[in-house]
Amino acid sequence: MKRLILFILLICAVPKLWSQDRFLFEAQKPAEDRNFRIPLIGETAPSFTAESTSGELKFPDDYGKNWKVLFSHPQDFTPVCTTELLELANLQNQFNKLGVKVVAISTDRLSTHEQWKKAMESLAYKDRQPVKIDFPLVADENLAISKKYGMIQPESNTTEDVRGVFIIDPNNKIQAIYFYPKSVGRNTNELVRMITALQKTSNEHVMTPANWKAGDDVLVPAIPNSQASSAELSSEGLYNLAWFMWYKKEK
């Protein structure tokens, strides 16, 4: 009798099991981990090889001992991104003087980059003459680069980068990072100011105060020798506003 009851229960249970969701007996795919880590200041910039509008690019190796800027944007043919890249193109001579190589990247395919680049090079933005875009636009259709740089965020669309900027020194160490929302365009003049300040502080072992611009006095990181006379300190271009705030005059 017990065997009969078990047999009847089994017959009743099988149809019920098969009537469930068709994925019931399949291995469940793990949810996509979208908390991709952002490499931080002082870390080595992640390397990658990718196709761009300037051919195959090996970053950062192809740029040797230059300063480098990796400039991400959410999507081609969008208005804010277009203004940003046109402003970068307008500053190309300044970047060249600073020894800076600019690379733009998004998750669009290469053919879309090429069409967008051609369209931008025909625009008279801000009543300026159309300008050629000399820096590469990198295609990251498979999101591999964007994930390495933490540019796919948990609350953003999986196919779009956030507006990120990584400033990388000649030793391929990240020296500055900033991110903007999709709705707000970045200040490309601030990018030039930041690189100018980074180069100065790196080369001269000084610091820059708030709102510093090229030609302004700088801060010194250590308090000068307390035994030095005022005349000696002045001859070195040093002065202070408080015992903890020492400046050095720019000549």
| Residue 180 dihedral angles phi and psi, to the nearest 5° | -125, 155
pLDDT of residue 35: 58
pTM for this predicted structure? 0.83
Would you list the domain boundaries of the chain? 48-186, 205-251
List helix spans (H) across the chain: 2-18, 79-90, 92-97, 110-120, 144-148, 188-204, 230-235
Residues 6+ apart with CB under 8 A from 178: 164, 165, 186
CA atoms within 13 A on the CB side of 225: 8
pLDDT of amino acid 3: 58
Half-sphere exposure of 44 (CA within 13 A, CB side): 7
Q: Give the three-class secondary structure for 93.
A: helix
- What is residue 227's three-state secondary structure? coil
- 48-186 folds as Glutaredoxin (3.40.30)
Quote the CA–CA distance of 88 and 90 in Å, as a whole number. 5
Kindly list the averaged pLDDT for each block of 10 residues, start to end, along the chain of length 251: 52 46 39 70 98 98 97 94 97 97 96 98 96 97 92 70 93 96 93 98 96 96 81 88 93 76
First to last CA, the chain: 105
Task: Name the catalytic one among 45, 50, 69, 81.
Answer: 81
12 is catalytic: no
Residues 176 and 42: their CA atoms lie apart, in Å, by 9
CB–CB of 205/221 below 8 Å?
yes
Assigned token pair, 245: 């705030």
| β-pairing verdict for 163-168 and 100-106 | unpaired
